[in-house]
Structure 1
Amino acid sequence: MKPFRRRILGNLLLWLGALLVSLYVVVIQLLPLYDDAVSRLEFWLLLGLVFLLAFIVSAAVGYRVIKVLIAPIENITETAMELVKGNYQARAYEEPLAGSSSLSSTINVLARNLQEITAVREMEQERLKTLIETMGSGLIMVDRQGKISLFNKYFQNEFELRAEKLIGKFYGELPIPDKLASFIEKVFMTETPAREQMEYQAGINKRALEVYGAPVIGNHEQWLGIVIVLHDITELKRLEQIRKDFVANVSHELRTPVTSIKGFSETLIDGAYKDESSLLSFMEIIQTEANRLETLIEELLELSRVEKSGFQVDAQPTDMKAVIEYAIELMQPGLTEKNMTLKTHLTPVNVAGDANRLVQILMNLLANAINYSAPEKTIEISLYENRNQAVIKVKDEGIGIASAEIPRLFERFYRVDKARSRNSGGTGLGLSIVKHLIEAHHGKVEVDSTVGVGTTFTIYLPLAS
């Protein structure tokens, strides 16, 4: 039985006991007045009826007291206990006639306010969690005891860590690069913001990170720990290196023909022009270097155009077989000079493309195959349709390309064999132009090569609708 009810029922029983004692005293005083048995029987019957009536009245009064006063109080108490347990959906009964109605109403207002505050807090926590998990940078928080209190998926994936190896662990125990561990140690010990760029080896790849760390300050200037944010700048570093290489390569490529032209022209001015054989030889060299310089400038301008944002080709239904045959005709002098054999397996296919640009792609690939192949070798060109795409294969029997060099093959000025390419007049820009032109046609290019055996370039282009 509940405490309030036990207390009220106890008081009612005391009241009933006192009533019975009083009646007993009255009976003792009145009993001598009844001499005969009949009178005494009537007296006892009357007394029993009085006792019964008193019991009924006491029960009715007790029930009414419990219903009107005790039940609402117990309901309010139960509701308060549910709120203490965190069940903010609990509500108390509001009896208009009960004296506790204002208390019930106040408890319900408190419950609704707590429920709204909890809902807002849960929504904010969910937003914060979503923001932390989906941000494009790694994040980790270390509390004032030096233990990991917060992290996101990006940080886990960056260092291939499982959640159980992070939460609650001391930051010095994390299996992370030494440079990052030292940076966290510095921020944690000095409690001052810091920023640093670092590189580390992840398997066969080198990764670059920009790391920012800062102390977390709570209310009343209380130090709560530190937060570390990691930005992946590997691609930015790669692009920066490509830019540096590009500037260096352009300077070198321009300097070589200019130096030759300047040197031979100065020699002629100094009197070599008087020797007819020397004059002709020097003039041929000057012309060759001038042509090489012109080719380099033209290809630089062409690369600048195809790399420009928004560059598009004039895609029209084009006979790819005719394009390949025209490119072969233009490259025939090079094939004849090295006594090379060209085999073709061409199936008529119409593609959506710019004929002039497609000829440019094929000429660059054929020139690459000729330059990197020894005399009297064979080049094969295939054209066929596969899965709603036109497939063009250019296969040579050249020096081949190592697998480690293939990812850099389409970079500007990158050469597999620098000496041979330069001697043949190559600029190192042809494959870069090829890649951009193929992508402008919404196609793709793949390379399969074996050192000492040869290389196959495979181009996929969309068919004409």
Structure 2
Amino acid sequence: MASPWRSEFSYLFLALLVGAFLGKVLNSFAVALWFSLLAYLARHLFYANRLLVWLRSGKAGQPPVGNGIWEEIYYLIYRLRRRSKRRKKQLVRMLERFRTATAALPDATVVLGPRDEIDWFNEAAERLLGLRRGDIGQPIGNLLRHPSLRLHLKNPDHRATVSIPSPVTENIQLDIRIVPYGEDLRLLVAQDVTQLRFMERVRSDFVANVSHELRTPLTVLRGYLETLGPADESLPESNLKIFQRMREQTARMESLVDGLLSLTRLESPAHQVVQKKLDVPAMLKSICDEIELLADEHPTIELILETDAHLQGAEQELRSAFSNLIVNAVKYTPATGRVTVRWRDEGEGARLDVEDTGPGIAQHHLPRLTERFYRVAVDGCKSNSGSGLGLAIVKHALSRHGAELKIASTIGKGSCFSCCFPEERVVRADSRAESRRAQRV
């Protein structure tokens, strides 16, 4: 920077020197100095006008010729324009790669603005959602007229999905997720799940059909075994063991079939939750009493009722879920241990905790415990038998009631299974009293 300024000061010194010479010739230093500064200013205006003409032309060629400080200015602007041009080319290449990549995606992708207007979409959106280039700027709700999608656009939970038929072909089923990004922008992603839904339906139908077909021969086999029951005393000991094993396996198969049928009913969209007020404290007390009567040797079962809140839901489903959790806790806890069943009100919902002092479960097993047929062999447990469907039934029953199953476990200390119910499912004592008063009125 020193060299351009030195050159510029030399031009200023030259202008003042010429002014001093003219002042001596004209015998008026003020007029001569004024003309000298005017000439110096005209020089700057000339180069400024040349810069303006060059910038307006938009040409990326060589900069105008200048001297002094203007030479440095021309060069710096020229370098910035070249750098900007290179960055622009890079951005264009990146944009082209992005468009090529998104065009190749099988999922429909739509960029939504602050008012849910369409800013951009890929080719899959044209194929699955029926969007056209002229739809850019239009609200997505005006083009995809489905009540579930309208409600989903207002849902702040970006992890939730909604399933709707494709507006192009009703046979195509779409799962839509809306993900926020940037400032007031959202990304709508629609995935074609037609084949997945078909496979789930086939699997569900297969399980239901097989379970129903197995029930008949199992019932016949159990009937014959019960008929042979009185003759057990006359049978040899070896045959007695065979019949005993047959009874055990028949009971196990019946339990497995019942579990599969329960899961099929829970997964069926046609199976609706019956809205009924359930006395949860009485239900838990009944379950604990039944387990204590049926189990020969069992740990201490402690029932703690911190609230008398009731629930709104299906009695059979919730009773099955609670029974599975308590029976599992009793089965995996030594007779010298303790199982604590706690029902409490959390202010914005209710929670059931089933805590045991068993051997615990390793952390890497916890995410898969609710998968069907997934079982964990626990060392020191008095029984590792089971179908592996209990926790899957619990998870599905709770999810149908908007509840969540949380699992915490520590090796050597025990496990805690928690059923967390949302506020809209809880019926408290004061609300029940108001409901009774309203009915009397």
Q: Same fold (TM over 0.5)?
A: no
Instruction: Calculate the TM-score normalised by the size of structure 1.
Output: 0.42
Instruction: Calculate the TM-score normalised by the size of structure 2.
Output: 0.44
Larger Rg, first or second structure (1 or 2)? 1
